Amino acid sequence: MEKFRVGILGATGVVGQRFIQLLENHPQFEVAALAASDRSQGKTYSQACTWRLPGDMPEQVRQIVVQPPAPPLDCDFVFSSLPTDVAKAAEENFARAGYPVISNSSPHRMGSDVPLLIPEVNPEHLALIDVQRKNRGYDRGFIVTNPNCSAIVIVMALAPLHAKLGIESCVVTTMQALSGAGYPGVASLDATDNVIPFIGGEEEKIEAETLKLLGRIRGSVIDEPAMTVSAQCNRVNVSDGHMASIRVKLSQPAKLDQLREALASFTAEPQQLKLHSAPEKPIIVRNENDRPQPRLDRDAGNGMSVTVGRIMADNVLDYRFVALGHNTIRGAAGAAILNAELLIAMNKL
């Protein structure tokens, strides 16, 4: 099978390196173009990038010359992991120039005509691509985004509960890894022996994106559920893996076993379609008292599964549990790659 030739915008960063690692030997994609800031442009990738993941920088990208994140790039579509301030215009420029843009970055996520996608949760939102093309006059191009790295983990766990039992309200407290801040991220003197109870914009993103993700598409709009969401976010001294303590009030009475069963049996379109990056089990339920833990559970399902544990009745809301996922894999590069695989399966790429 001929592979899609992909470009990566923000290729030298934390998420960009993850893209390159996950795309090595991918059956449908080959990396053809790389872009980053003017600090890196004109250099080969091996000159521009200090490789910070285990193992070596893949051979196939070492000699690719880093370009500006602007069209034209010699590729079929682009993955974007640009910083927020650069991503908005750069992604629009690519989409207008005819490139599908599959983005990790936040500026377009809440656009009313932009699919904010988790393939297991809301594949039907891809219908917004046609709305977007019509609204914006794009021809072959479009923008599809994946959610915030904590919102993905949280919504993966909420989706089966909301589908089967209904969620009226939800209170979330996150403990987020340092790699979520990019490289070099949080200064070591701030992170060591510490918890920082503020991550700019994160609480608002989780609250807004959760409702869009769990919304139902009606014609060209998304009807958000009648649910209230409250989020508090903390940066903790963990390298990778975002954890969230979640309490839910359900719309109907339910037994603990129903929650456990809804989570453990969850399977969806990516599993049925056998997409390359789809984990066999999108949610892994652990029964031990002390799981999930970032170090032990972030790589479950090659980093694409969300692990849920500590499911129990709650004295204030109805139930509580803890969810954990890998922020640069399920929360970023892996999520975008799975989005691209779904787009191919649905003949949209």
10 in contact with ligand NAP (CB under 6 A): yes
- Whether 149 is catalytic: yes
CB of 339 to ligand NAP, least distance (A): 13
**E strand segments, 96-161:** 100-103, 142-145
Ranges within 152-191 binding ligand NAP (CB under 6 A): 179-180, 182-183
Element (H, E) at 269: helix 269-272
Report d(CA 72, CA 94) in Å as an integer.
Answer: 8
Catalytic residue among 49, 149, 170, 233: 149
82 in contact with ligand NAP (CB under 6 A): yes
282 in contact with ligand NAP (CB under 6 A): no
The two structure tokens encoding residue 301 = 């399902």
Report d(CA 306, CA 115) in Å as an integer.
Answer: 22
Q: How many binding residues for ligand NAP (CB under 6 A)?
A: 30
Element (H, E) at 208: helix 202-213
Q: Interface mask (CB under 6 A) for ligand NAP, residues 18-47, using x and -?
A: ------------------xx-xx-------
The two structure tokens encoding residue 252 = 């109907």
Nearer residue to ligand NAP within complex by CB, 36 or 118? 36
Residue 38, number of CB atoms within 10 A of its CB: 8
84 in contact with ligand NAP (CB under 6 A): yes
Among 279, 327, 329, 337, binds ligand NAP (CB under 6 A): 327
Helix, coil or strand: residue 311: strand
CB within 8 Å of 162: residues ≥ 6 apart: 214, 225, 227
Among 69, 282, 292, 309, binds ligand NAP (CB under 6 A): 69
Nearer residue to ligand NAP within complex by CB, 28 or 148? 148
How many residues can be counted in the chain?
Answer: 349
**E strand segments, the chain:** 4-9, 29-35, 66-67, 77-80, 100-103, 142-145, 167-176, 216-218, 221-223, 228-235, 242-250, 283-285, 306-313, 319-325
CB of 102 to ligand NAP, least distance (A): 12
What are the two backbone dihedrals, phi and then psi, of residue 303, each rounded to the nearest 5 degrees?
A: 85, 0
336 in contact with ligand NAP (CB under 6 A): no
Q: Interface mask (CB under 6 A) for ligand NAP, residues 96-125, using x and -?
A: --------xxx-------------------
Ranges within 193-252 binding ligand NAP (CB under 6 A): none
Q: Which residue, judged by CB position, is nearest to ligand NAP in the bound state?
A: 13
Nearer residue to ligand NAP within complex by CB, 45 or 319? 45
What is the set of active-site residues?
Answer: 149, 242
Residues at the interface with ligand NAP (CB under 6 A): 10-16, 36-37, 39-40, 69, 81-84, 86-87, 104-106, 149, 179-180, 182-183, 327-328, 331-332
